[in-house]
């Protein structure tokens, strides 16, 4: 089911990117010092699994998929290499999928920034694909438990990120983009009554975004050249 959702996302993204790339003029290559700001709509699709607990032998939980607004800042070190900071806030709920306890087990707010290094391919005109790799850190806060008489704590997470995507240049610095990140990370839920569950999250992070790119030198008036796009 999750694979079908991901496939539909990419089929739509590739089709739209192809149409838009065909309709736009070739774009200027990025320069060192360019900053790209992207506002996106992101789907978090969790490929989760409970790998250890002391609640019950067949206990299993799952985290709800969700859609959230996101912000990406992409700084170009050269015309091909950049670093991207991705962030957002989201509320997540943990549900019992095994029927051992039943219902919602806990909820939490998360602050999950990602930092990736990207390589951008050039020579394709307005269509500008890229790949990347990096890390994600998830900080959990404002946790709440649905187990009577027990509070809950989520352990902060670190994970490895792989990334692939593309921007389609619209001219004048504007672009639309499609991005997929796969993250490998886990957390541990510890209840005040001694119960715990270790949980793999391993989300897909799928984003459609609108971007604007400009050069910081132009912004602060340090270059004599005509501003980028």
Q: What are the extents of the domains in the chain?
A: 2-25+32-219
Question: DSSP class of residue 227?
Answer: P
For 168-224, what is each residue's pLDDT tens digit?
Answer: 999 999 999 999 999 999 999 999 999 999 999 999 999 999 999 999 777 766 544
pTM of this structure: 0.83
Provide the pLDDT for residue 211. Answer: 97
Assess contact for 25 and 126: CB atoms under 8 A.
Answer: yes
Which CATH code is given to the segment(s) 2-25+32-219? 2.40.160.20
Provide the pLDDT for residue 134. Answer: 98
In this structure, what token pair is assigned to residue 128? Answer: 């500008």
Assess contact for 147 and 175: CB atoms under 8 A.
Answer: no
Assess contact for 108 and 146: CB atoms under 8 A.
Answer: no
Picking from 98, 71, 84, 197, the residue whose alpha carbon sits closest to that of residue 136 is: 84
In this structure, what token pair is assigned to residue 220? Answer: 């602060």
Highest-scoring range by mean pLDDT, 23-32, 135-144, 147-156, 210-219: 135-144
Three-state DSSP at 158 gives: strand
For 58-97, what is each residue's pLDDT tens digit?
Answer: 899 999 999 999 999 999 999 999 999 999 999 999 999 8
């Amino acid at each position: 089911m999750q694979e079908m959702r991901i496939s539909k996302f990419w089929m739509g993204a590739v089709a739209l990117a192809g149409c838009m790339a065909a309709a736009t003029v070739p774009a200027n290559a990025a320069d060192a010092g360019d900053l790209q700001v992207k506002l996106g709509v992101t789907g978090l699709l969790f490929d989760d699994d409970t790998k250890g607990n002391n609640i019950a032998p067949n206990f299993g939980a799952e985290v709800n998929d969700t859609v959230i607004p996101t912000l990406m800042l992409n700084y170009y070190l050269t015309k091909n290499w950049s670093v991207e900071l991705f962030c957002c806030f989201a509320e997540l709920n943990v549900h019992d999928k095994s029927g051992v306890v039943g219902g919602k087990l806990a909820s939490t707010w998360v602050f999950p920034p990602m930092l990736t290094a990207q390589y951008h391919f050039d020579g394709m005109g307005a269509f500008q694909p890229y790949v990347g790799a990096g890390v994600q850190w998830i900080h959990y806060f404002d946790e709440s438990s649905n187990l009577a008489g027990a509070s809950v704590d989520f352990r902060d997470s670190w994970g490895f990120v792989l990334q692939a995507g593309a921007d389609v240049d619209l001219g004048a610095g504007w672009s639309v983009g499609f991005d997929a990140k796969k993250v490998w990370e886990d957390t541990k839920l510890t209840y005040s009554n001694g119960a715990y569950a270790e949980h793999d999250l391993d989300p897909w992070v799928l984003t459609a975004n609108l971007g604007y790119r400009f050069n910081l030198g132009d912004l602060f008036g340090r270059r004599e050249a005509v501003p980028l796009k």
